[in-house]
Amino acid sequence: MTACPVCGSCDRETTARERVPGGTDWRYFECNRCGNEWRS
């Protein structure tokens, strides 16, 4: 999921990336419209 889960905006920034053992990286996003932060 890359659109904001709160307001649905695709206007977001990637704020961080976390390496996870097992292959999948967590990506942290911040919505430029409503300020919500989430990880995907």
pLDDT tens, 1-40?
589 999 999 999 999 999 999 988 999 999 999 999 999 9
∠ CA 14-17-20 to the nearest 5 degrees? 150
Q: Tokens 């920034």, residue?
A: 13
pLDDT on residue 39: 95
pLDDT on residue 24: 85
Per domain, the residue ranges of the chain are 1-40
pLDDT on residue 14: 96
d(C-alpha 39, C-alpha 27), whole Å: 5
pTM of the model: 0.80
The answer to whether 3 and 38 are in contact (CB under 8 A) is: no
pLDDT on residue 1: 59
